[in-house]
Amino acid sequence: MFKTILAVAALAFTQSLAFVPTPLTQLKAKKSPKTELRVSAFDNAPGATAPFGFWDPLGISNGLTPQDKKYKFMRAGEIKNGRLAMLAILGYALPYYYKLENFKDVRPGFDALLDLPGLVVGAIFLTMGFLDYNIFGERGMAPEGEYEGSLGGFFWKGPEDAEENLAMQNREINNGRIAMIGFMAMLAQDLVTNADFPFTEKA
């Protein structure tokens, strides 16, 4: 019981960070004289929120600026993967409760890959690759000055107010990060328990 309460509390805490992000610049403004935070060129970039600020533990962005094409490509990749993860969580859970008529015999979750014909699975991955390379990849990068999430011509329509717009971008990025972690956890739980969603008991 205690573990369940602890898990729920941790989830609520991470969700609160996603929905109410604090820009790193605000955190620095409140810091005590004895506290030092690393100044980064990305402190005002979307996704740089408390408590981690601009998260780059491997130093991939060292020597880059927010205007560099390499940075924009990596940021667009994070946003794209976050959006896919949010959709994937819904797509992974929904078949446990509802299926289209033509897919009644296809098991939900990871087992669907084993039930679908190989040509169908191959077509799915080929379509994903085509879209990623030709529409949502480097060719579909956001125009100069646009939010990196404006991929493939699907432009970001945020609030007119710059501060509100940044806050909304932060929410999308943080929710995408949580979704990527959550989806990997769903896959692991599905494989370990082999039970129906939400995978709380072994089959």
pLDDT value for 191: 85
Distances (CA, A) of 141 to 126, 133, 172: 21, 11, 18
CA 63 to chain centre: 25
Q: Which residues sit in the known binding site for chlorophyll b?
A: 61, 120
Q: Which residues pair with 53 in a beta bridge?
A: 49
**Domains of the chain by residue range:** 65-193
Residue numbering of the annotated binding site: 55, 61, 78, 83, 114, 120, 172, 175, 177, 189
> What do you get for the CA distance between the two ends of the chain, in Å?
21
As annotated, the binding site for chlorophyll a includes 55, 78, 83, 114, 172, 175, 177, 189
* Tokens found for residue 114: 């084993």
Instruction: Write down the pLDDT at residue 122.
Output: 92
Q: What is the pLDDT along the chain (203 residues), one digit of tens a residue?
A: 434 344 434 444 444 444 444 454 454 444 444 434 445 678 888 888 888 888 888 888 888 888 888 888 888 888 889 999 999 999 888 888 888 888 888 888 888 888 888 898 899 999 988 887 777 766 666 666 677 777 655 666 677 788 888 888 899 899 999 999 999 998 888 888 877 777 766 65
Name the class of domain 65-193.
Answer: mainly alpha
What is the model's pLDDT at position 113?
A: 85
**For position 20, what pLDDT does the model report?**
43
